[in-house]
């Protein structure tokens, strides 16, 4: 598949995103995404975590790692989840067609991606790999994105006003946007092929982590032996525990991103948008959510 970039759109100050086959991508990731689409051939044993940015990727990375590498879950205290589960377009296919492999001796390789299903369909459909998709309430996703971008861009220019961020989010003009199309691409796949894709929301996981983590482990073919085991995994991946590790409090930045490791941990709560968004913005996003999701039976 050839990725077609037709236009550019300003999303933050003068910074532009590239419009590629219906999605807005950060320019620096267009080529790596093209390489993933053209060259990544998932093994049947691979696990691919897909997500829209700021919807719970870090949490799911830690959970997937802890579920699959149960006896090595202590490594989460020493390495940031993004180092343990690399992102295909950000860390793996950065400079060549030859991917690095993660844990080549392990039963399952685990990768993550923010690439929309609409762009990655052929790759994912060509293999029996399992896919896990996490999503999150759009209003909390917007607030988390707004914080993250302001931290990321702070050294460069003026802050990104929340009203502008909300406008861009609703227009779909944020990295990997439109959010709604991203979610619907994977949601549709999960309805059609529930054995291939495990679809979970940040809020479901927060409200009943034990049940959902048990289901996730079964989906991955790595069921838990007892209640204690699942409780341990949930605990070691909780925001409270993970965010306290020195490696996750670090001001150091990874080689593959400008922001420090601690930027992946902020508040880790459901409903933080209520502390930030005006009634008007909330009404606008709620109306969009009803239009985009409820019509297809996804009740967010």
Residues lying near ligand A3P in the complex (CB under 6 A) are found at 51, 53-59, 62, 140, 144, 147, 237-239, 242, 264-268, 272
Closest CB to ligand A3P among residues 17, 50: 50
266-274 LR contacts (CB < 8 Å, sep 24+): 266/144, 266/147, 266/148, 268/59, 268/239, 268/243, 270/137, 270/140, 270/202, 270/203, 270/206, 270/207, 271/137, 271/140, 272/140, 272/143, 272/144, 273/137, 273/139, 273/140, 273/142, 273/143
CB of 251 to ligand A3P, least distance (A): 16
Angstrom distance (rounded) from CA 57 to CA 268: 12
Q: Is 37 exposed, middle or buried (0-12, 13-18, 19+ CB in 10 A)?
A: buried
Closest CB to ligand A3P among residues 51, 221: 51
CB of 134 to ligand A3P, least distance (A): 8
CB of 236 to ligand A3P, least distance (A): 10
CB of 153 to ligand A3P, least distance (A): 16
Angstrom distance (rounded) from CA 104 to CA 192: 31
Closest CB to ligand A3P among residues 38, 276: 276
294 is catalytic: no
Catalytic residue of the set 69, 114, 212, 273: 114
Closest CB to ligand A3P among residues 266, 284: 266
- What count of Cα atoms within 13 Å lies in the side-chain half-sphere of residue 82? 24
Residues labelled as active-site residues: 114
């Amino acid at each position: 598949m050839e990725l077609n970039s037709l236009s550019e759109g300003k999303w933050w100050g003068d910074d532009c995103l590239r419009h590629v086959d219906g999605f807005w991508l950060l320019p620096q990731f267009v080529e790596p995404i093209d390489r993933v689409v053209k060259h990544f051939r998932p093994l049947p044993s691979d696990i691919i975590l897909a997500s829209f940015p700021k919807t719970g990727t870090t949490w799911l990375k830690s959970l997937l790692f802890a579920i699959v590498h149960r006896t090595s879950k202590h490594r989460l205290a020493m390495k940031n989840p993004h180092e343990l589960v690399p992102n295909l377009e950000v860390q793996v296919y950065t400079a060549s067609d030859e991917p690095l492999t993660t844990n080549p001796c392990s039963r399952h390789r685990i990768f993550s991606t923010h690439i929309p299903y609409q762009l990655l369909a052929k790759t994912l459909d060509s293999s029996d790999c399992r896919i896990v998709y996490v999503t999150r309430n759009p209003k909390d996703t917007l607030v988390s994105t707004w914080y993250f971008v302001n931290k990321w861009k702070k050294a460069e220019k003026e802050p990104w006003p929340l009203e502008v961020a909300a406008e861009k989010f609703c227009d779909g003009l944020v990295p990997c946007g439109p959010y709604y199309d991203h979610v619907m691409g994977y949601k549709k796949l999960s309805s059609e092929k529930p054995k291939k894709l495990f679809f979970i929301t940040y809020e479901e996981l927060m409200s009943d982590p034990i049940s959902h983590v048990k289901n996730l482990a079964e989906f991955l073919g790595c069921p838990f032996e007892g209640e204690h085991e699942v409780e341990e995994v949930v605990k070691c991946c909780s925001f409270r525990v993970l965010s306290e590790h020195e490696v996750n409090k670090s001001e150091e930045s990874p080689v593959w991103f400008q922001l420090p490791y601690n930027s992946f941990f902020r508040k880790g709560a459901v409903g933080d948008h209520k502390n930030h968004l005006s009634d008007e913005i909330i009404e606008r996003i709620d109306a969009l959510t009803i239009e985009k999701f409820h019509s297809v039976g996804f009740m967010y």
